[in-house]
Amino acid sequence: MSNVLTPTLASQTIDQLCINTIRTLAIDAVQKANSGHPGTPMAMAPVVYCLWQQFLNFDPDDPIFPNRDRFVLSAGHASMLLYSALFLAQVKAVDAEYERLGEPSVTLNDIKHFRQLGSKCPGHPEYHLTSGIETTTGPLGQGLATSVGMAIAREWLAKTFNKPGFEMFNYRTYALCGDGCMMEGISNEAASLAGHLKLSSLCWIYDNNHITIEGNTDLAFSDDVASRFIAYGWHVTRVGDANDLELLTRAFKSVQAVNDRPSLIIVDSHIGYGAPNKHDTSAAHGEPLGEEEVRLAKRNYGFPENEQFYVPKGAPEHFRNSLVERGGKARKKWFEKYEQYKKQYAVLADQIMRMQRRELPDGWDKDLPVFSTDAKGVASRDSSAQVLNKLARNVPWLVGGSADLAPSTKTRLTFDGAGDFAATSYDGRNFHFGIREHAMAAILNGLSLSKIRPYGSGFLIFSDYLKPALRLSAIMEVPVIYVFTHDSIGVGEDGPTHQPIEHLASLRSIPGLITIRPGDANEVREAWKVIAQLKHQPACLILSRQALPTIDRSIYADASGVAKGAYVLAEASDGKPQVVLIGTGSEVLLCLEAHEQLKNEKIRSRVVSMPSWELFEQQPVEYRHKVLPPDLLARVSVEQASTFGWERYVGCSGTAIGMTTFGASAPLKELLKKFGFTTQHIISAAKSQLTRKETSK
């Protein structure tokens, strides 16, 4: 390499020094970890630098400032790009209760321990771990769809809270993506909806480098991305060289001038841009460069070849100062304006701050319906609709919708003023996601990360379509609400394609997720009360299509036991049961019927309603043993779903009545009989348990 073309530290502008610091920190971190992706940080460093230096309204001292611009790294494998920026900006850390700690979010030591245990710089950006990260990314396309949720939140917040002279919310959302994000179906779902909603505060930056893990994108991807996004209704512009700060500046300015559609900036780059061998793409994308390539890259950047994690004097100060100058001033001005706003709009001001801390308004549970005993009963999706509408009246920032199934999931808010969220009515509280379950769930994450309380709904069978985004809800510890109806073989004639079998077990296997399957209308009310109070856990409410009789609570236990996950609903007359019957959802009534018949036969049984395994496991061991005594081994569980996992509660010798096939297409009564969901079958199972117990003595 010619020395004439090699810059020196002294010859570089401060802009170039900062850009190359981002690059070399990424190179060194990946090399030391012997794991990671250096190529995209090398190529996109100028883009991030330009955006953060000139346009991003973000205060490093307050990374949760409500009206900050959002930057989402959808290409999460390029995490060192973000970590380097957070380090140079000296972003301050915030804890789980949203208290500012004053210490750095990312230190140089964290970068030195990239991808190592305990570092704030894990392999992919994690929202709950490192302040300044707006959302967890890694699964490609998720960040893009989540950014749509943030942009939707911006419009809803602006329409709800902005008043003449008080523009409280006008932030922008930027998301950086690559070819992989563009290929994933979720990005197409989200882009389509964003264009339809005309989300002008949203900008995606597409790193157009033609490389994925397997090689050149010619192998599997030949889309005309620009034309595709124009067809979606987006504004599209192009930057032909990722290193051209002037062109990048012009592109970002053009985006800010657009007020009627989202924007896509296509940035042409070479992966590992600036490295000595631009065509050796495999190492630059998914592997460390290797010691020799690292030295050559640093020489090319004019950095010390044999010094690791070198940070030139003045680079952090320059990178941080422009952010503080712009973002810090914006934050200070916002809070000054908020104090004035509070005097004129006290109720709205209170709502803004309660939202920021995920607190509920006073009287949030006022007038929630109490359901009278009813042998005919009501489907839990219908009782849920009644509770939801009351709750949403009391919690003005509870919003949501469905993936085109609101008439079936009963999740439409019907009270006066609820309205529909649309390009012409951003203050509506009913959202229409279209038949886009996956994008819906990611958008819900974006809404929740913006401190709105969102719910989304669909059939339980289609939870599979959104599982990756739901999993991220749990990883990020954000309280997204998922309402899943048509919860069992109770959908009857629709048959195996619509009868969820393994889905409850699948949801229960997700760490940090609360799953609740209530057994009657009053359990539905109590389930919503539990869910409303969650701050750091997503929840799935599992509801029936068919009517569930409303249990007589003057005879059986109060439904408030739902809060503990499981409770004794019906007890043996002497308090000393011989057998325990455990049910969830629609099967609770079957257990009660079996209990009454067993009583007539002088067999003492206890019925335990267990709507939530997760809530039950959170209870003290004393309570759990009180509900399910360890020495009472005669147990029967009943659930119209896979029996997988029920051995935890019935033991190896207990009986789990459930599904071992994918169901069948037939009227419900025939299905219940065929698969053993009858009172008589439960009674037989209970007697068999007692016989086994006697035989084993």
**526 classed as catalytic:** no
Residue 416, class by beta-carbon neighbours within 10 Å (0-12 exposed, 13-18 middle, 19+ buried)? exposed
Cite the beta strand spans of 586-689 per DSSP E: 605-609, 635-642, 655-659
Both tokens of residue 443?
């958008």
Which residues, other chains included, contact 190 with Cβ-Cβ below 8 Å and sequence gap of 6+?
141, 144, 145, 148, 436, 439, 442, 443
Say if residues 406 and 438 touch (Cβ distance below 8 Å): no
Count Cα atoms within 13 angstroms, Cβ side, for 86.
Answer: 30
Say if residues 288 and 30 touch (Cβ distance below 8 Å): yes
Backbone torsion region of residue 590, taken as left when φ is above 0, otherwise alpha when ψ lies between -120 and 50, otherwise beta: alpha
d(CA 235, CA 254): 10
The torsion angles phi and psi of 176, rounded to 5 degrees, stand at: -100, 125
d(CA 233, CA 228): 9
Name the one residue in this structure whose structure tokens are 């799953």.
515
Q: Could you count the other beta carbons within 10 Å of the beta carbon of residue 163?
A: 11
The candidate with the shortest Cα–Cα distance to 150, out of 172, 181, 128, is: 172
Catalytic residue among 155, 437, 587, 614: 437
d(CA 455, CA 466): 13
d(CA 438, CA 403): 9
Backbone torsion region of residue 467, taken as left when φ is above 0, otherwise alpha when ψ lies between -120 and 50, otherwise beta: alpha
Name the one residue in this structure whose structure tokens are 């051209």.
244
Catalytic residues: 437
